Amino acid sequence: MEILVSIIGGLVVLWFAIGLLLRGPDLSQYDSPAGERGTSLDRVSRENEEARRLLRQMQKGVNSTSFRGRVAQMREVLDRGIPGAAMSADGLGVAISDADAGGIPAEWVIAPNADASRRLLYLHGGAFAAGSPRSHRPITARLSKLAGVAVLAIDYRLMPENRRIAGILDCQSAYRWILDNGPEGPGAPGELFVAGDSAGGNLTLMLIAWIRDEGLRQVDAAVALSPPSDGTSSSPSMRNNVDTDLMLGPTFGKLANLPRTLILLFTVFAARMRPTNPLISPIFGDLSRLPPTLVQVSDSEMLTDDGRRWVNKARGQGSDARLQTWPGMLHVWHAFADTLPEANEALEKIAAFVSEYAKG
């Protein structure tokens, strides 16, 4: 009996030790309000319910009981696009051409008014397991039109076929490539930006810190839409907003309510890195000397506080970081620009931010 008690006691101690080892420093000091209300609208638009209906329609296409089956269905649904939304070059009013970004499959998305020397590297979202340049054309096409940029959207390697580090390395390789290549061939960019949504927002925040540490030419400005910045899932909104996040809640809500140590172990297993590694958790890294960065979040999504905390820490370390918050929006509502006025407003604010730091 004493041996059993000792074993149980040892396991309990080990459980708590693992939790303490993996969770990292307390980030609650960065929970104070930051930024501005993103929208000028007095209330959530009536079109928001239509966007939610379209999301529910898309979610019906993801119903496999197996993990790999759900991943395959999610990829298909995302590449098919939001029902009724344009996905082709003709429908979007842009030119789309395939590219090889240093061995990384990619596509250039270029509006008629875009300046080929004003380049934007776009990193798509999709929980690191789905998404592609095609799935995010409704966003990249509008960014090209509104900001006058030539957008390079890359098709980085996804999980679970590849380790998390593979996608990170692809983003880094593509950045080195865009420093010397544009849509018209070899040549340095006049102006350079990076942007991404959700998982791509995480990769954006990772990338700008890596660029600084590598001593490469830094981007003129960066944009992160609904980015996860903390792989330890410690943000209050990760639990508080499960019921209001219609996109992430159904998939990740159950995970968010698991014991903290179990979540941390899951992250280690999935990413093959410690949850506090800045490559997957940018908030745990050095956030000084970063380029001007705009973060946009919805106050209804699970990742609200990941964005808020990153901005507050970056500001505290002297970087120019801005947070814009929209009330009642879906996670990455920007994709619903054909339906939501708030999506168009957010994209216009991004274009204004990019123009603010454009040299020409």
Do residues 193 and 219 lie in contact, with contact meaning Cβ atoms separated by under 8 Å? yes
88 is written with which tokens? Answer: 């082709």
Dihedral angle at the C-alpha atoms of 70, 71, 75, 81, nearest 10 degrees? Answer: 40
319 is written with which tokens? Answer: 């970087």
Do residues 317 and 65 lie in contact, with contact meaning Cβ atoms separated by under 8 Å? no
228 is written with which tokens? Answer: 């996860």
Tell me which of 117, 144, 198, 226 is the catalytic residue: 198
Q: Alpha helices of 179-236 — where are they, by DSSP H?
A: 199-214
Instruction: State the amino acid at position 298 in one-letter form.
Output: S
Could you give the 3-state DSSP secondary structure of residue 232? coil
Do residues 315 and 237 lie in contact, with contact meaning Cβ atoms separated by under 8 Å? no
164 is written with which tokens? Answer: 């998390």
Q: Is position 198 annotated as part of the catalytic site?
A: yes
Q: Is position 301 annotated as part of the catalytic site?
A: yes
Q: Alpha helices of 151-236 — where are they, by DSSP H?
A: 164-178, 199-214
Place of tokens 């929980």: 127
Euclidean distance between CA atoms 89 and 112, whole angstroms: 12
176 is written with which tokens? Answer: 């080195």
274 is written with which tokens? Answer: 């410690």
Q: Alpha helices of 60-122 — where are they, by DSSP H?
A: 67-80, 89-92
Tell me which of 301, 319, 342, 345 is the catalytic residue: 301
Tell me which of 132, 229, 298, 331 is the catalytic residue: 331
Q: Which residues, at least 6 apart from 352, have a Cβ–Cβ distance to it below 8 Å?
A: none
Could you give the 3-state DSSP secondary structure of residue 124? coil
Instruction: State the amino acid at position 289 in one-letter form.
Output: R
Active site residues: 198, 301, 331
